[in-house]
Amino acid sequence: MAEKVRIFDTTLRDGEQSPGATLMHRQKMLIAKQLAKLNVDVIEAGFPIASEDDFLAVKEIAETVKGPTICALSRAIPKDIDRAWEAIQNAKNPRIHTFMSSSDVHLKYQFKISRKEALQMSIEAVKRSCSYCKDVEFSPMDATRTDPKFLFQMVEAAIDAGATTINIPDTVGYAQPIEFGALIKAVIEHVPGIKNAVVSVHCHNDLGLAVANSLEAVRNGARQVECTVNGLGERAGNASLEEIVMNLHIRKSIFNCSTGINLRQLYPSSQMVTNLTGISVQRNKAIVGENAFAHEAGIHQHGLIADSQTYEIMNPEMIGKTTKLVLGKHSGRHATKKVLAEMGFNLTEQQLKQVSQKIKQLADKQKTVLEEDIIAIASDVTRQLVQEKRRIELDEVRVNTGNKVKPTATVTLMIDGKKKTAQGKGVGPVDAVASAIQSMLPERISLKEYHLKAITGGTDALADVVIKVQNGKGNVYNAESINEDIIMASANALVKGINKALASKKSKSRA
Ligand code: KIV
Ligand code: ZN
């Protein structure tokens, strides 16, 4: 009988710590609801002490998202734990996750405390958490660079204090699979109380081994894996949820473990996270990358036509990826709604109306409207509506460009309700538009990155522009926009990014 491995999703906490992935409250709600559909066991909804925004988002998720356990992160500090509990107390199944560093390098240089003090703080944090909630997780941070004897001592003390899950993090992504598997085995063998707790792992991907390390941990007795959709997370990210789940599923005979994940929601979840964070996955990413099921070589195509098993160990339908022409000029609202729901978009009537209109407009211009176009349109509409505060609206853009003139742009913006016009020059028309927009802003916001891709082939393709802007405090914000016109996609993306930067009050402390 296969044993269950719990999937603990930390997209909204560690994933949101990805540089540039800051999510707004309503975007977090959309992702949390999608995670419930995916049927993850635990949603780590945020770090409530970090900011008022985080607190409110965790609270709303705890109060409205049904199914998974809702977890909040806290340092081993009383005010963090109290705030975490305040945020999740109304969840049906709440969990407090508290952590304290265990490695000498962290204790000496970051915390400037002794092992004894760290141990005492951990015990007190777990006890305080248990006074609120029966489900308490404890993490000895930087476990893989900790003296194993001290690690066992800290884990035993946390279990004695009441922790029900012990999470072993590879915080800096340093471990190799063979070592990490051995560490999990050693924790199970050397900590007598471990039978009273679930062993969890949380691996970072600095050396590209987060998934391999997590799987090796499962082979050695871990029964919870912490991971994120698309592998988002601090620095090089966390273990990717879709890769963990599909490895456990496709190679069941190796692991003899199963998850409760609804596989068909893997691709829609990945698409939603890509679209709402503005962080795309690489084309050749396992499971959810654009090329993951694309076969180019003639010999492979020939084999596939004969029998898909020749070159496919799983098929796209399994993860909810359908590759067909879905909607067009004559598609009704119901069909649009159904197709979008299958793709992971549960739209309001207002959003649906906007998406249907845009699909029809595009179908008038292009012969075919492909799935990629529809996802892009729906994401764009969702993003527009989740953008909570827009201080700046784009009113008009005019450009003058060619091979014998210096590109110039005249842009009119509505800034806090007042119309303003400015001209800009640049090396190209997009640059000219950007300089005109930037010259009118109430504070300095610079364009850090600009990426352009055509969603489908042809000169009439939708242009997808992804940008990063940075405010004076050094915070970076992503934005994306699609349009048939490259200049308009660029201008809209820039205005979206600027609105995000202007709306954000925070410079938050991170775990
Ligand atoms: O990477 C890490 O150690 C963490 C802890 C808070 C679990 O994210
Ligand atoms: Zn982490």
Query: Residue 466's pLDDT band (boundaries 50, 70, 90)?
Result: confident
CA distances from 32 to 45, 139, 242, 294 (A): 8, 23, 16, 30
Mean pLDDT value across residues 130-137: 98
What angle do the packed helices 210-219 and 241-250 form, to 10 degrees?
40
Mean pLDDT value across residues 195-223: 98
Q: Which residue has the higher pLDDT, 24 or 461?
A: 24
pLDDT at 307: 76
**How many angstroms separate the alpha carbon of residue 199 from the centre of ligand 1?**
15
Mean pLDDT value across residues 110-122: 98
Name the residue at shortest CA distance from atom 4 of ligand 1. 171
pLDDT at 449: 83
Mean pLDDT value across residues 174-188: 98
Across the chain, mean pLDDT equals: 89
Domain boundaries, the chain: 3-277, 294-382, 390-510
Q: Please give the single-letter amino acid code of residue 206.
A: D
Q: Is the pLDDT of residue 506 over 50?
A: no
According to DSSP, the residues that pair with 6 across neighbouring strands are 224
* Cβ contact 229:27 at 8 Å: no
Q: Is the pLDDT of residue 382 over 80?
A: no
Q: Is the pLDDT of residue 17 over 70?
A: yes
Q: Which residue has the higher pLDDT, 149 or 354?
A: 149
CATH fourth-level superfamily of 3-277: Aldolase class I (3.20.20.70)
Q: Is the CB of 99 under 6 A from ligand 1?
A: yes
Closest ligand 1 atom to residue 204 Cα is: 1
pLDDT at 376: 75
pLDDT at 295: 63
Neighbours of 63 (CB within 10 A): 15
Probe target for ligand 1 pocket from 122, 204, 235, 238, with the most ligand atoms within 8 Å of CB: 204
**How many angstroms separate the alpha carbon of residue 224 from the centre of ligand 1?**
14
Looking up tokens 């806090």, which residue turns up? 416
Enclosing H/E stretch for 380:
helix 371-386
pLDDT tens for 136-163 read 999 999 999 999 999 999 999 999 999 9
CATH class of 390-510: alpha beta
- The fold of 294-382 is Recoverin; domain 1 (1.10.238)
pLDDT at 336: 75
Q: Is the pLDDT of residue 325 over 50?
A: no
pTM, 2 dp: 0.77
Query: Residue 312's pLDDT band (boundaries 50, 70, 90)?
Result: confident
Which region among 223-237, 284-298, 383-397 has the lowest average model confidence (pLDDT)? 383-397
3-state secondary structure string across 174-205:
CCCHHHHHHHHHHHHHHCHHHHHCEEEEEEEC
Q: Is the pLDDT of residue 281 over 60?
A: yes
pLDDT at 457: 58
Q: Is the pLDDT of residue 72 over 90?
A: yes
